[in-house]
């Protein structure tokens, strides 16, 4: 994770307490470097549990405050959606989706 120093800043995270079923992880990340390759690599490096779900929202630099997250859509206050520049999702089977902005 050292290679990402200076490129990203975590604004918030959520992890459910369920250790016997699917683990849900949701992260709000400020992208100081908006390279799509770096964002995807960062998502790939984040924790993921088999049969769990990991979601990362990359925000532009205009967001400076902590983001309160929840495990379901909407994951954060809807007025913050315009600031999402990319979304990374890893499914329970390990399939990766990386899209511009907030997924539709």
Q: Average pLDDT, whole number, for the chain?
A: 93
Nearest in space to 97 (alpha carbons), one of 44, 38, 24 = 44
CA dihedral 52, 40, 3, 29 (to 10 degrees): -70
Nearest to 26 by CA among 7, 84, 6, 79: 84
Mean pLDDT of the 31-56 span: 94
> In this predicted model, which residue has the larger pLDDT, 46 or 20?
46
Looking at residue 1, what is its pLDDT?
Answer: 73
Considering the entire predicted model, what is its pTM? 0.93
pLDDT at 64: 86
pLDDT of residue 101: 96
Question: Coil, strand, or helix at residue 40?
Answer: helix
């Amino acid at each position: 994770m050292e290679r990402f120093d200076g490129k990203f800043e975590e604004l918030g995270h959520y992890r459910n307490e369920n250790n016997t079923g699917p683990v849900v992880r949701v992260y709000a990340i400020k992208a100081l470097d908006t390279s799509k390759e770096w964002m995807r690599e960062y998502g790939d490096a984040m924790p993921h549990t088999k049969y769990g779900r990991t979601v990362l929202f990359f925000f532009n630099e205009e967001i400076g405050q902590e983001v309160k997250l929840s495990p379901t859509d909407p994951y954060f206050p809807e007025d913050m959606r315009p600031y999402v520049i990319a979304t990374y999702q890893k499914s329970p089977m390990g399939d990766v989706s990386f899209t511009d902005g907030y997924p539709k």
